[in-house]
Amino acid sequence: MSESEDTSQTTISRWVYWGAWVIAIALVVVAAYLGWQVGSVKAGNSEQVVSPIVSEPISDQQAQVNLPELSQLSEQPAIYRQTNLHTIIPTRPRQDPQDYTVETGDSVFAIAGGFGLTPESVLWANYDLLNDNPDQLTPGMSLNIPPVDGVLYEWQEGDTLQGVADRFDAKVEDIMGWSGNRFDLTNPNVEPGSLVMIPDGHREFKQWLVPTIPRGRAGVSSDLYGAGTCPGGYEGAYGSGGFIWPADNHTLSGNDYWSGHLAIDIAAGTGARIYAADSGVVVFSGTAFGGYGNMVMIDHGNGYQTLYAHLSSVGVRCGQSVLQGQYIASAGNTGRSTGPHLHFEVRYLGGFVNPWFVLPAP
């Protein structure tokens, strides 16, 4: 082959090489362009699908939305849930009697109030200890506290539901229906000695009291009422019918006036001075039975008598005339008492009067 032919062949090979590169680059450019077109079409279709179709133009009034600003929301008070500790296990009333040990300063009235009961219910539940006398209460004594107001009764041999209900002025269905009694309604037998609650039942009290003693010949015996009993047959001062407080303190310390305690217990420490609430004649002075301890009774000559008990000492004698406000004794804790105080009674024509009705406002 000649030299001219070799040169021509080399030139053709170079053109083929560079042409192949140009074609490859062109194909890459075309492919890129086609890819961009396809992506644009897909994006356009996607926007068309998610865009809402509005058939009618929206007015300015419809387009306006009144949403609260963040600052307004932050000024609104928050709502909190209050924790209730009794939502799972509710508080239920007691169904069983509870034991209580008497402490110094206790009274039937205060103990009953602490358990949400009437004092009568506590007294009735403990007849064997108190014998219906709240003044028999002593520190260390163990009391039965009923679960509700009524009579907590110890079932006796021969008792029947109807007989017990009649005795305590109650209803058989109330006794059987009280869940704490746990009756078998198909066979409601009760074992003797069992404690049965008589809801809302009641009975009369057996009250032991020093009788009302007039200034005339009383005919009472010291063997029955105590060494302080006076023979009577006296003349002397008469009362005005108006009363003053018999102690310097005008607040209660223990029992108030109620059906089982026909007096008020006035707060008075041992040795505190006690005064005659009105003028009259002393008809009892000294030791009395029945839990009164040292006691003074004054007959006022107008149908009224006043009684002062649990005294540490007495300062007057039988038949002595005293004037209203005169010192007659010192307060104390004698007899059946759980702490020093003055037991003060007012009687009229032999009946009991609530002292709050005749004493001036404290």
pLDDT digits (tens, 9 = 90+) for 43-60: 555 444 444 444 455 555
Can you tell me the distance from the alpha carbon of 264 to that of 273, in angstroms, rounded to the nearest whole number? 17
Q: Are 194 and 237 members of one domain?
A: no
**Domain membership flag for residue 268:** yes
- pLDDT at position 223: 73
Average pLDDT over residues 336-342: 88
Assigned domain for 362 exists: no
Least confident of 7-21, 131-145, 329-343: 7-21
pLDDT at residue 290 in the model: 78
170 shares a domain with 230? no
Under the banding of pLDDT at 50, 70 and 90, the label for residue 21 is: confident
Lowest mean per-residue pLDDT among 81-90, 126-135, 201-210, 320-329: 81-90
Task: Please report, for the domain that includes residue 140, its CATH number.
Answer: 3.10.350.10
> Do 195 and 229 fall into the same domain?
no
Indicate whether 193 and 226 sit together in one domain: no
2-11, 151-160, 220-229, 265-274, range with the lowest pLDDT = 2-11
Q: Are residues 177 and 240 in the same domain?
A: no
pLDDT: which is higher, 346 or 85: 346
- 234 plus 326 within the same structural domain: yes
Q: Are residues 347 and 235 in the same domain?
A: yes
- Of 32-36, 198-202, 273-277, the one with minimum mean pLDDT is 32-36
More confident residue, 222 or 137: 137
- Report the phi/psi class of residue 286: left, alpha or beta, with left for phi > 0 and alpha for psi in -120 to 50: left
102 found inside a domain: yes
- Has residue 78 been placed in a domain? no
Q: Give me the pLDDT at residue 140, please.
A: 92
The pTM of the full predicted model, rounded to 2 decimals, is 0.62
What pLDDT sits at residue 47?
Answer: 47
pLDDT of 89 reads 44
Determine, yes or no, domain membership for 2.
no
Is 80 exceeded by the pLDDT of residue 22? no
Domain containing residue 312: 222-357
Q: What is the mean pLDDT of residues 298-321?
A: 96
- Of 121-130, 279-288, 293-302, the range with the lowest mean pLDDT is 121-130
Residue type at 230?
C
Q: 152 phi and psi, to 5 degrees?
A: -90, 110
Whether residue 155 is found in the same domain as residue 249:
no
Do 168 and 161 contact (CB within 8 A), yes or no? no
What per-residue confidence (pLDDT) applies to 327? 98
User: Looking at the structure, do residues 226 and 351 belong to the same domain, yes or no?
Assistant: yes
Is pLDDT above 50 for 87? no
Domain end residue (candidates: 199, 233, 259) = 199
160 in any annotated domain: yes
Same structural domain, 163 and 279: no
Q: Is residue 287 part of a domain?
A: yes
Alpha carbons 215 and 14: distance in angstroms, whole number: 160
- Domain count for the chain: 2
**Does the pLDDT value for residue 82 go beyond 80?**
no
Cβ(210)–Cβ(228) below 8 Å: no
312 and 237 share one domain: yes
Report pLDDT for 44: 52
CATH code, domain with 299: 2.70.70.10
351-353 and 341-348 as β-strands: parallel, antiparallel, unpaired? Answer: antiparallel
Does 249 map to a domain? yes
Q: Is 151:203 a contact under the CB 8 Å cutoff?
A: yes
Same domain, 341 and 228: yes
- Give CA separation, 198 vs 100, 112, 142, 169, 311, in Å: 20, 17, 21, 9, 38
